[in-house]
Amino acid sequence: MIKKSQRIKTIVEIKAAQEKNQLEVLGASQRKLTAMQAQVDGLKKYRMDYQDKFNQLGNVGANVGQLLEFRSFMDKLDTAIAGQELSLDQSRADLAAKRKIWENMHNRTESLKKVYDSALATEIKQESKFEQLAQDERASRLGRNNPGNTSNA
């Protein structure tokens, strides 16, 4: 018969493996978010640099076609940045959801570990009690079988 602690230990090991997998998913999501943030930051920097060029071109005096071309490209950059920021917000929400899932799994695993520890402690206590009873029983049988042996050690 498998002891209760062994059955619980198996469940704890399974839950710990699931928790580890979820932590890896969380890490991948975090890395993706970091890469996306760097991409958005790069686009924003590029847009600022392009804005500076646009301002310089306006100060120097450029023809209307060049100014319209610059303005059109900046509008496209703004649209791209807005789209990337929307994706970034979705990735943040996704990361928060994955973190919540991992936290729940972690808490469940920790709770199961406590149940396992308690079951193991109870089993050890019961085994010690049974061993003590068995020793007491042997000692009393020896005492009954040897009534003349009253030596004190």
Q: Report the pLDDT value the prediction gives residue 101, as an integer from 0 to 100.
A: 97
Question: Which residues are CB-neighbours of 77 under 8 A, at least 6 positions away?
Answer: 43, 46, 47, 50
Q: Report the pLDDT value the prediction gives residue 148, as an integer from 0 to 100.
A: 58
Full-model pTM: 0.71
CATH of 4-116, one of 3.90.470.10, 1.10.287.1700, 3.60.21.10, 3.20.20.140: 1.10.287.1700
Question: Which residues are CB-neighbours of 113 under 8 A, at least 6 positions away?
Answer: 12
Q: Report the pLDDT value the prediction gives residue 142, as an integer from 0 to 100.
A: 82
Q: Report the pLDDT value the prediction gives residue 113, as an integer from 0 to 100.
A: 95
DSSP 104: H
The full set of domain ranges for the chain reads 4-116
Q: How far apart are CA 50 and CA 62, in angstroms?
A: 15
Helix axes 4-60, 64-145, angle to 10 degrees: 160
Q: How far apart are CA 22 and CA 138, in angstroms?
A: 54
Q: Find tokens 């402690």 and name the residue.
A: 121
Those residues of the chain that have pLDDT short of 70 are 147-153
